[in-house]
Amino acid sequence: MTKRSRFLGGARILPPPVGKGMSASDLMDKSFLAYNAGRLREGARLLAERMLAPDATVGLSLTGALTPAGLGVSCLVPLLKAGFVDWIVSTGANLYHDAHFGLGLPLHAGSPFMDDRALREEGVVRIYDVLFSYDVLLDTDAFFRQVLDLPEFQAEMGTAEFHYRLGAYMAKRERALKAGEVSLLAAAWRYGVPVYTSSPGDSSIGMNIAAMRLDGKGVKIDVALDVNETAAIVYAAKRNKGKSAVWILGGGSPKNFMLQTEPQIQEVLGLDEKGHDYFLQVTDARPDTGGLSGATPSEAVSWGKVDPDKLPDTVVCYLDSTVALPLLCAYAFDRAGKRPLKRLYDRRAEMLDRMTRAYRRKVDAEAVTRKREVSR
């Protein structure tokens, strides 16, 4: 008999029959054994066993129309409430459509195979198979313009502060409607989770901000502050002897904005760092087309975005986020329990000050070195 190969050390593929009453987490552990199911199981274990450890700071990026599909209510709000997400980078569109739920405006299940000309005639808007009245957009716009006209929004601020202030009004509307916890923005305000938007002008929220600016009113967004605050979150996590975990749903600009925190620390500020420790992505994008959405964690190592020593702690699931997210949530709640809230929103100034002082010490040290070299 030949010696057993070292490559055959994995668990034998011989799952038990799928039966009645099996939980989602047990199904994943016992039946998701190969191909993208296998990667989803690996991702779920990475999330529950390592990323959700108390010493890890978890950043979540959101791309694609997730909130219109109800995933804000079913998954994102519970994740924040349980302390499983510490900071967020989202498209503005996800936050805009999240507001429909907080305002009690209904969205309906439909079909992707409809005559869009007929929908347009009847004032119905379609996001694939999600349908809602055009009045939902108008009512949401009216809410944002009303809020943006308030005195506290006549200032310059980063998107974390902007969304936090919006979240307070969304939570107030939730309570008035007795809707329960249905808004991601309200939950972020309630649980102290900073929410950033990498492209503030690229959504209906940004469009309403722009409309207000035509009258010389409304908020001015400080994008440079966003870049520095997000980098400071990661810097603080690592300097406190903790880990930085990134959980990426989709790709696009939010993915890059979350990952660029490490190049900002290392390349631009020149501070000693190695990269994020844990990387979990759900995407349907291929790596060979050159788009950032499909870029692998291995490629991210070359940019300094991911610690090269932590590549075994990276998982990419090639799957639709609307399928993967509820399963990952179910697994995490079954296997990880709860975590204390970090309330990073309240610590933004402290974290930014820490990184700023480290940067200035580095700049001052370099100036002294140059002066000595010139005097030789």
- The tokens describing 259, both together, are 């990952």
Determine the pLDDT at residue 117: 97
- The parts of the chain modelled with pLDDT lower than 50 are none
3-state secondary structure of 359: helix
Per-domain residue ranges of the chain: 55-105+166-200+221-375
Determine the pLDDT at residue 308: 81
Q: Is 20 assigned a catalytic role?
A: no
DSSP-assigned letter for residue 47: I
DSSP-assigned letter for residue 328: H
Contact 105, 140 (CB under 8 A): yes
CA distances to 32, 105, 210, 225, 362 from 206, in Å: 41, 20, 6, 17, 37
Give Cα 249 to chain centroid, integer Å: 7
Distance CA 149, CA 129 (A): 34
- The tokens describing 127, both together, are 């996001």
State how beta strands 243-249 and 56-62 pair: parallel
Instruction: Name the region of 217 (left: φ>0; alpha: ψ -120 to 50; beta: rest).
Output: beta
Alpha helices in 246-347 (DSSP H): 252-259, 261-263, 297-302, 321-336
Distance CA 136, CA 363 (A): 51
Determine the pLDDT at residue 1: 54
Q: What is the CATH number of domain 55-105+166-200+221-375?
A: 3.40.910.10
Read off the pTM: 0.94
220, containing H or E segment = strand 220-221
Distance CA 51, CA 150 (A): 39
Of 238, 243, 305, 342, which is the active-site residue? 305
Task: Report the sign of the C-alpha dihedral through residues 336, 340, 346, 349, in that order.
Answer: negative
Distance CA 196, CA 83 (A): 18
* Identity of residue 178: K
DSSP-assigned letter for residue 48: I
Determine the pLDDT at residue 372: 72
Determine the pLDDT at residue 369: 75
How long a stretch of residues is the chain? Answer: 376
